[in-house]
Amino acid sequence: MTKYCIITFLHVLLFLQGYAQEGRKVIPFNDGWTFRKGPLNASTDTTWEAITIPHTWNNKDMQEGKNFYAGEACYQKTFPVAAGLKGKRLFLRFEGVGSVAQLYVNNRFIGEHKGSYAAFCFEITHSVTYGAENTIVVKANNTAREDVLPINNFLFGIFGGIYRPVNLLITNDINITTTDYASPGIYITQDEVSDKKAIVGVTAKIENKQPHHTNVQLQTEIRDQHGKRVAVTVKETNLSPQGINIIRQELPVIRPHLWNGLKDPYLYSLTTSILINGRITDAVTQPLGLRRFEVTAGKGCFLNGQPYAMHGVTRHQEWQDCGNALTNAQHKADLDLIREIGATTIRFAHYQQSEYLYSQCDSMGFVIWAEIPFVNNFSGKESENARQQLTELIRQNFNHPSIYVWGMHNEVYSKTPDEHVAVLTRQLNDLAKTEDPRRYTVAVSGYGEMTRPANLAADIQGMNRYFGWYEGSIGDIEKWVSGLEKNYPDYKLMLTEYGADGNIDQHTDSLSTNFDPVSGQFFPETYQTATHVQQWAVIEKHPYIAASYLWNMFEFAVPMWNRGGVNARNLKGLITYDRKQKKDAFYWYKANWNPAPMIYIAERRNHVRQPERVHAEVFSNLEKVTLTLNNGAPVTGRTGANSKDFIFDNLTLKTGVNTLTASGVSNGKVYTDTITWTH
């Protein structure tokens, strides 16, 4: 054991021995682990490596190609349990392990969890030795399986490892449950929400492990951001020692401060406590954002009765050289970039993502789409796991005010309503509506027809449309949406993916090049930019598209692909995999979505220009936008796709280096951007 591990264990030991406070303890359990690839009994302990959670063994190889390691690996940790903890309840809660996890405590099998993306929680009260050291082993296996979603690595890789945080939970023998699909154990509902009043409901699930009925008080209180109590209710109840005690409470909040997206993401806190003889013995606190979200066919989305522009991006949970084992700082950095582009809503694709991420969306004001990884293909053997993962998604994230919709699937199909995917989708929708009748559901098709059998079971029809890339031409999006508006005016529609790949090292002076999006190696950034410029200009004119989500905010690894000049990479991101470069399309959306003054000249990486006569394109939300070439007289361009797109035609380059400067005005202040092109 390393010196570092000994110190860490001593700190934990001292903390646990000094346990004297009432209620529960949540202790980070991320240090002092050792790891080895392969089965537990394959070789000696000399192969074990000291690691810290979060951790994945695919942080490099899955980004390089098909020859990544998929199989079993093992994690081990030794920790002390103080003798004074006897009589308490102990739980281990894992926020994410890829993809199938088995937990052992002191060589005793505790349980198995199937699925990479949801939390799971096992009780270890009766398996630890008190007053002694204990050993935990986690076997993780990321082999693609037909009975675990996603069933393959085709659209994104299934990273292996304990890649999200682990906590040790300690409670009294009467506690709010921790093992109800690893949920918080309390479920907050809100009804009749207006600026005059809101009715807040709380359902608590409580376990009594004492040998007899016990009288308790269940108290729920709501506090504002200053800590002032704005509502409280107390209920006397006699807890049964058998089963789960389910207790419902309601609290009115008068003249509530509403959660209003990015403009004002106001959060209350709600705490449910168990009191015995006036003493708190357990408590759970959750965020409370009071809001009312509606989707109206043909008109769009409404937040608290007001139209809400749903400018959306999608996001995968991985970074270059880190895989999916991200820190909270990395998650926050992604959200800050999404905030910079001006997005108001995020589709977290194609799976449940970090709890920290959802909490940050609550406090930052993003409106969130959350979904399960029923994606790309099906086996006919995934039904049980799909229902499990959807239940986990909903119960674990039920209280986040930022979430407005639950996703059932993405691009899986049936030919008739009686086949597997269509039937399973109806079952999933029924499950979602039973678990959470107040939120919307959505299913996503990669086709443009409204009547696909597997998609009409949900409240909202999502469609992924890659005009100009996988089908047709860039401008075909106009005919598509106009046709749906005419033929299906009463249907709720969202454009859930669109875009094109763009390699920042590849450019073209012409958009007439034919690209092979499946096996081609030339994916110029120029074409990606043109796709987004033209298609957003169409999307913004059609409120029938209630929300749109460009694909994707960030590049990500696809180990089964070799396209666009970069192996194992989906290049549709507007920001590079390492987060170091923002592509031209990023600034296009920033000009359209973010009201902060900005101006940007496109094609700066296409800096060696062959033609003598060229045009320049500028993205800006400023007034009086002009361009100068080589310190010449400023010229005014023409309007391109919309009012944020400025085209400057017939520029004549000199031999050598040419300097272009764009400028514009906002509230009397001049903003400029300068680039150079070499002819």
Q: Which residues are catalytic?
A: 411
CA distance 20 to 615: 72
CA distance 14 to 20: 12
Whether the bond between 524 and the residue before it is cis, its omega within 30 degrees of 0, is no
CA distance 44 to 572: 44
CA distance 353 to 95: 10
- From residue 420, give the alpha-carbon distance in Å to each of 375, 415, 417, 425, 456: 14, 10, 8, 8, 14
Tokens of 71: 């199989």
**Strand, coil or helix: what is 78?**
strand
- Judge contact between 622 and 673, C-beta under 8 A: no
CA distance 13 to 133: 10
CA distance 69 to 142: 9
Q: What's 484's DSSP letter?
A: H
Residue 525 phi/psi, 5° resolution?
-60, -30
Structural element, H or E, at residue 11: helix 3-17
Tokens of 412: 């899986």
- Judge contact between 377 and 152, C-beta under 8 A: yes
**Strand, coil or helix: what is 611?**
coil
Q: What's 177's DSSP letter?
A: -
Full 3-state SS string of 419-469: CHHHHHHHHHHHHHHHHCCCCEEEEEECCCCCCCCCCCCCCEEEEECCECC
- Judge contact between 519 and 119, C-beta under 8 A: no
CA distance 434 to 430: 6
Burial of 544 (0-12, 13-18, 19+ CB in 10 A): buried
What is the torsional sign of CA 324, 326, 332, 334? negative
Full 3-state SS string of 314-343: EECCCECCCECCCCHHHHHHHHHHHHHHCC
CA distance 242 to 594: 55
Structural element, H or E, at residue 678: strand 669-678
CA distance 677 to 67: 40
Burial of 487 (0-12, 13-18, 19+ CB in 10 A): exposed
CA distance 240 to 212: 7
**Strands (DSSP E) found in 183-266:** 186-191, 197-208, 214-223, 229-239, 245-254, 259-260, 264-265
- From residue 651, give the alpha-carbon distance in Å to each of 230, 525, 616, 647: 64, 21, 8, 11
* Residue closest to 29 by CA, chosen among 105, 83, 90, 93: 93
Q: What's 471's DSSP letter?
A: B
Residue 245: half-sphere exposure toward Cβ, Cα within 13 Å: 22
